[in-house]
Amino acid sequence: MRVLENLEPKAVFHFFEDLTGIPRPSYHEKAVSDYLVKFAKDRNLEVYQDDLFNVIIIKEASEGYENVEPIILQGHMDMVCEKNPGVEKDMEKEGLDLEIDGDYIRAKGTTLGGDDGIAVAYALALLDSDTLKHPRLEFVCTVSEEVGMDGAHAIDLSPLKGHLLLNMDSEDEGIVLAGCAGGGSANIRRPLIREEKDWDRMMIHIDGLAGGHSGTEINKGRASSVDLMGRVLRGLSAVTKLRVVALENGTKDNAISREGRVVIAVQSREAAAAELEKICSAVQSEYSVVDPDIRITAEDPAGYPEDISGLDPLAKKDSKAVISLLTALPQGIRRMSDNVPGMVETSLNWGVASAAGDVFTMRAAVRSSVGTAKEALFEQVGWIAKSYGASMEITGEYPAWEWVDQSVLRDKMARIYREMFGRDLVIQTIHAGVECGLLSEKIPGMDAISMGPDILDIHTPNEHLSISSVQRMWDFIVRIIETK
């Protein structure tokens, strides 16, 4: 029995459940891309699939709408794959386990992929309908949005005729986006030298953090396990000599890191354990309101995910460099916007850190709505990295999506929303990245808006999608499309 089969709108939840059964982490989208192509071919729709597995599906206008401006529907097919400790699901090979919790849909122990599976489900339901009155619909579904918008960078939009873009990659009902920050990833790499050191070993485990989206939730003051790892290591270094053996922390640069482990060799295990208790107590007190479940514990190194029993500690200089990089590189909000009250202008999030074998790596999502501020932050990170013998590479850069004063689509949506719900539609810009900026560069004069239903705690295993909000936003989308 399908879990969502009794939910409304039936077509939307039918396709959404199909999608949750297809593993679709970034860079592993072939299966879901082929599903979309089959969907189109089964309905005799025009379809394009490129070498990256981006897909475009086109449905010609219904009778009476032939001369109405086409509408581009847009979303991405990949999802952030995060899971709770102890969950054994292989998210590259297995579908999700859905459950209904009151008004919400969740996936047991993992991210749900509502970001951006719900956009794909909306688009498929629209394309599948034989009662919808519509202009030409052009569905653009991209790959690898969550890791640098690779699909949007590469996709060929020449089959499209439309200039009105309805992106469905937002997560707040009643709030639509008309601009977003630009960004990219900072990738730090430093070679390591190891040497034998016969000291006691201990593993420090940081977990229980709330995490969250590194764009939309960077302003909530939540802790980062990468940042805390630097704090722990420099604190322990003050009371005993130590060397880093191995560390792993976080999995995605666009998710605030929730868990990390580091194995260290220490001259005085007792001094390290006593200091760790002090640090843990201080951190738990500082974050008691916004991140109340933080745990920092000393554990048996045998609990490290990999066998490192034969791995020597880092040399003194290299161990110090790793701790220094974890400490010196900035984390979180760098500047708030002067133009939009309450909005973050510039930030970065170190979502991944790893010391394995002979190399130390870190990766951050860098975001800013001001291009020069973004470049300055990249320069700062590169300068700090070089100071400690590391190099920096910038990948996955994407432009800001700039606000435009005149928007036919925005005005139409505001009018319809007021008629349907009796209140004003909130129109704003956002600190997170949206593909509209890249797509707008490919189609001059594009008029774009981003919207979506309520999805909470995206990029975390607590992600949940509001059923009632999906229904209301479906009704809204249908009205937008059917209104000439």
Give me the catalytic one of 18, 78, 115, 435: 78
The β-bridge partners of 25 are 79
Domain endpoint, select from 398, 431, 457: 398
**Whether 174 and 190 share a structural domain:** no
- What's at 199, amino acid-wise? W
214 burial level (CB within 10 Å; 0-12, 13-18, 19+): buried
Indicate if 393 and 441 belong to the same structural domain. Answer: no
Q: Please identify every stretch of the chain with a pLDDT value under 70, giving residue numbers as ranges.
A: none
Give the pLDDT confidence score for residue 266 in this predicted structure.
Answer: 97
What is the model's pLDDT at position 439?
95
- CA of 161: how far to CAs of 59, 68, 138, 286, 443, in Å? 12, 11, 8, 54, 9
Residue 125's pLDDT is: 98
CA-CA distance, 445 to 14, in Å (whole number)? Answer: 35
pLDDT at residue 396, as a whole number? 87
Q: Is 289 helix (H, G, I), strand (E, B) or coil?
A: coil
Q: Are residues 404 and 392 in the same domain?
A: no
- What is residue 468's predicted lDDT score, i.e. its pLDDT? 98
Report the chain's mean pLDDT, rounded to a whole number.
Answer: 96
Helix (H) or strand (E) holding 55: strand 55-59
**Phi, psi at 339, each rounded to 5°:** -95, -30
pLDDT of residue 474: 98
Domain match, 214 and 312 both: yes
Q: Is 78 a catalytic residue?
A: yes
Q: Residue 349 is part of a domain; what is its CATH number?
A: 3.30.70.360
Are residues 129 and 96 part of one domain?
A: yes
- CATH code, domain with 473: 3.40.630.10
Residue 51's identity, in one-letter code, is D
The pLDDT of residue 405 is 83
Catalytic residue from among 29, 116, 145, 227: 145
Cβ neighbours of residue 249 under 8 Å, at least 6 residues apart? 206, 225, 226, 229, 257, 259, 260, 261, 262, 352, 353, 354
Domain total for the chain?
2
Q: 243: exposed, middle or buried (C-beta count within 10 Å: 0-12, 13-18, 19+)?
A: buried
- Give pLDDT, residue 343: 87
**C-alpha to C-alpha distance for 369 and 394, rounded to whole angstroms:** 17
Give yes or no for a contact between 164 and 409, defined as CB atoms under 8 angstroms apart.
yes
Same-domain status, 264 and 372 = yes
Please tell me whether residues 414 and 340 are part of one structural domain: no
202 and 325 both lie in a single domain: yes
Surface-to-core class of residue 458, CB atoms within 10 Å of its CB (0-12 exposed, 13-18 middle, 19+ buried): buried
The answer to whether 88 is a known catalytic residue is no
Q: Are residues 305 and 156 in the same domain?
A: no
Q: Which of 183, 79, 119 lies closest to 460 in space, CA to CA?
A: 79
Cβ contact 3:21 at 8 Å: no
For 382-398, write each residue's pLDDT tens digit: 999 999 999 999 998 88
Over the stretch 280-309, which tens digit does the pLDDT of each residue have? Answer: 999 999 999 999 999 999 999 999 999 998
106 assigned to some structural domain: yes
Residue 3 domain-assigned?
A: no
- Residues 220, 366, single domain; the answer is yes
Residue of 128, 189, 138, 186 whose CA lies nearest to 162: 138
**Does 102 fall in a domain?**
yes
- Structural domain ending residue among the three candidates 352, 379, 398: 398
Residue 367 inside a domain? The answer is yes
| pLDDT value of position 311 | 95
Answer for the pair 349, 331: CB distance below 8 angstroms, yes or no: yes
The answer to whether position 2 is within a domain reads: no
Cα–Cα distance for residue pair 460/209, rounded to 1 Å = 10
DSSP state of 273: H
Q: Please name the residues in contact with 265: beta carbons below 8 A apart, sequence gap of 6 or more.
A: 197, 199, 200, 201, 242, 243, 245, 313
| Residue 244: predicted pLDDT | 98
User: 153 and 133: one domain?
Assistant: yes
Same domain, 266 and 391: yes
Contact 246, 311 (CB under 8 A): yes
Q: What pLDDT, in 10s, does the model give residues 337-371?
A: 887 788 899 999 999 999 989 999 999 999 998 88
pLDDT the model gives residue 85? 87
Identify the domain containing residue 449 by its residue range: 10-181+400-482
In a domain, 86, yes or no: yes
**DSSP states of 114-150 as a string?**
HHHHHHHHHHHHHHH-SS---S-EEEEEES-GGGT-H
Distances (CA, A) of 30 to 22, 51, 56, 76, 86: 10, 10, 14, 13, 28
Backbone angles phi and psi of 35, in degrees to 5: -60, -40
